Amino acid sequence: MARAITDIKRLEKSREEVIEENVQEVKEAVADNKDAILEGIELLSALQKEGTLETLSAFVKAKDETLANVVREIDKEQYTPLLNNLPELVFLLGDLNVSGIRSLSSRLNNGLERMEDEGTTKKMNMLDFAKVLKDPEINRSLTMLMSFLKGMGQK
C-alpha cells in the first residue's frame, strides 16, 4: 500500500517575480484603457487649474463635518417651501417636452439676435403692420404664437 502524502510543498514565487507579474498586469491595463486614463488626467488637470480639486480634497477629508453643516443649513425654515416643492418640480421636469422646449429656445434666441441687429427704435403704423404680415416668416411666427395662446387657454 502507498504512503499518504503529508507534506505538500507549495510553489512559492520570489518577490521579484511577483513584482514583475504585477508590473506586467498594470502595463496591460494601461494599454487597454489608454484613452480613459488620458481623459482622466485631463479632467484632474482642469480641476486643479480651477482650484476645484483642492476643494474636493478638503471636502473628502472633512466629509462628516461638511455634510453635517449642509444638513443643518437645509433644515432651516426658509428652505421648507423649496423642499416641499422639490418632488413636484421633479415630476414637472418629467412631463416637459424637452425637444419642443429646445426648438422654442433656439427660435427665441434667433428672434432676440434679429431684434438686437435691427434695433427697436423704429415705429410702425397700421399700413406697415399690414405689409409685414405678408412676410412668410412673420406670418408663420404669428400663426405659431396664436396656436400657442389658443392651446394655453384651453382647459
Cell of residue 13, nine digits = 514565487
Tell me if 101 is assigned to some domain.
yes
Q: What pLDDT is attached to residue 129?
A: 83
Q: What pLDDT is attached to residue 125?
A: 86
Q: What is the mean pLDDT of the chain?
A: 88
Tell me if 91 is assigned to some domain.
yes
The DSSP output letter for 96 is S
Does the model's pTM come out above 0.75? Answer: no
Closest CA to 110 of 100, 121, 118, 98: 118
Q: What pLDDT is attached to residue 29?
A: 94
CA distance 81 to 52: 31
Give the dihedral of Cα atoms 73, 74, 75, 78; nearest 10 deg.
90
Tell me if 85 is assigned to some domain.
yes
Q: What pLDDT is attached to residue 27?
A: 94
Tell me if 127 is assigned to some domain.
no
CA distance 103 to 111: 12
Structural domain including 63 reads 17-120
* Mean pLDDT of the region 104-126: 84
Tell me if 9 is assigned to some domain.
no
CA distance 41 to 32: 16
Q: Answer whether 37's CB lies under 8 Å from 30's CB.
A: yes
Q: What angle do CA 54, 57, 61 make, to 5 degrees?
A: 140
Q: Answer whether 54's CB lies under 8 Å from 48's CB.
A: yes
Q: What is the domain count for the chain? A: 1
pLDDT by residue (tens digit) across 1-58? 677 777 777 778 889 999 999 999 999 999 999 999 999 999 999 999 999 999 989 8
Q: What pLDDT is attached to residue 128?
A: 85
Q: What pLDDT is attached to residue 1?
A: 63
Q: What pLDDT is attached to residue 117?
A: 81
Count of alpha carbons within 13 Å of 113, Cβ hemisphere only? Answer: 6
Tell me if 83 is assigned to some domain.
yes
* Mean pLDDT of the region 137-141: 89
